[in-house]
Amino acid sequence: MSLYRTELRRLTKRRFTRWMTLLGLLVLATVMIGVFFSNQKIDAAALAKAERQAEQQYQEQVRWSEQERLACERSKTEGTADPNRFPADCSVITPPPPEAIEAQWFLPSTFDFRESFGFTLLPFAAILALVGFVVGASFVGAEWSTGGMMNLLLWRPKRLTVLLTKLAALLTGVLAVALPAAVAWFGGFWLVAVYRGSTEKVTSGVWQSFALTGLRGIVLALLMATVGFALASLGRHTAMALGGAIAVMVVGQFGLAILLDMAGVRFAEAWLLPTYAVAWMQKKVTLEDWEACNATFTGECRPETFDVTWQQSSVLLGVGLVVILGAALWVMRRRDIS
């Protein structure tokens, strides 16, 4: 019997894998349903209603300005004018021009596929990455804690082959879930845009950009599954991976963020892992330092910026993956199995 098929079947038969995958898919579905019901299509009736609301707002501003002007003139006449409330010349109290109050301010939320879909790919990738990490950690961690790994090595004594075959089965399972989920995500939000928004100006270039972002999200999920698998293999327990993740995020990231802020380090976010994950998905994250002001010829203050690109993120994530997986393979080869 093929070891790969055996491991793949063991992965799919595990109840934890099934329930965790189902939970992740339900969260994704909940997000999509929430976006559907929180948006609506802008038709002629909605536009007319927004224009009426804009006109009402303008008329309220006209009435308020007239009342304030009369109050200003009355206080000037009575000699009780408050300089903190009224200007020296009451005639300057005038309503804004009609075009200053735009009808689009009163339009309901609508889902523009071209403008909004890209932002939905970040939570999509995050949920898949979380599911991949936990499933990967539990898959090999349970084998160590229950003694299944020792029994398997009696049948297949090649340690690295066994471990890498398990990893291959895990990545196949994650990919088998991620690809249909991505197709459903794209299709579902396209329907949201059709019935609750707009699909205008969605060109082939836009589709290509979204597809590449979705592909990077799937790669991130595969990477996190591998990291969870490797950490659990290092510690021979699922808790090793989960505890390590909590330590890195809570102690390492939050504690480091507080320390960097207290030390006044510029572009402190550049030292935090979530910044690189976001940059990987969004191609670039621009950090700003408002403590350093670059004055323009108009006197405007512009902060100094620092760009974190997806290329930098790929190097960091790649090196981290090689180090963690390499350590797991080295320990598997060197340490006694007992």
Indicate the pLDDT class of residue 227, thresholds 50, 70 and 90. very high
Whole-angstrom distance, CA of residue 163 vs CA of residue 161: 6
Please determine, for residue 90, whether its predicted confidence score (pLDDT) is greater than 60.
yes
At 287 the pLDDT is: 83
What is the C-alpha radius of gyration for the chain, rounded to an integer number of angstroms? 29
CA distances from residue 329 to 64, 221, 233, 234, 280 in whole angstroms, order as listed: 74, 21, 9, 8, 26
d(CA 222, CA 149): 23
Contact by Cβ (8 Å): 20, 132: no
3-state SS class at 299: coil
The answer to whether residue 300 scores a pLDDT higher than 70 is: no
What is the structure's pLDDT at 212?
Answer: 95
Higher pLDDT, 252 or 65: 65
Average pLDDT score over residue span 201-221: 94
The whole-model pTM stands at 0.81
Q: With bands split at pLDDT 50, 70 and 90, how would you rate the model's confidence at 153?
A: low
Contact 314, 223 (CB under 8 A): no
Mean pLDDT (whole number) for 281-289: 86
In terms of average pLDDT, the best of 96-100, 194-198, 285-289 is: 194-198
Q: Which residue has the higher pLDDT, 69 or 262?
A: 69
Question: Which ranges of 38-158 does DSSP label H, i.e. alpha helix?
Answer: 44-78, 113-146, 148-155
Q: Which helix (H) or strand (E) holds 285?
A: strand 284-295
Mean pLDDT of the chain: 83
Query: Which H or E run contains 302?
Result: strand 301-309
- Is residue 298 pLDDT above 80, yes or no? no
First to last CA, the chain: 25
- Return the pLDDT at 59: 81
Query: Please, which residues have CB within 8 angstroms of residue 85's CB and are 6 or more apart in sequence?
Result: none
Task: Determine contact, residues 168/10, Cβ cutoff 8 Å.
Answer: no
CA 216 to chain CA centroid, Å, is: 13
Residue 40's pLDDT is 85
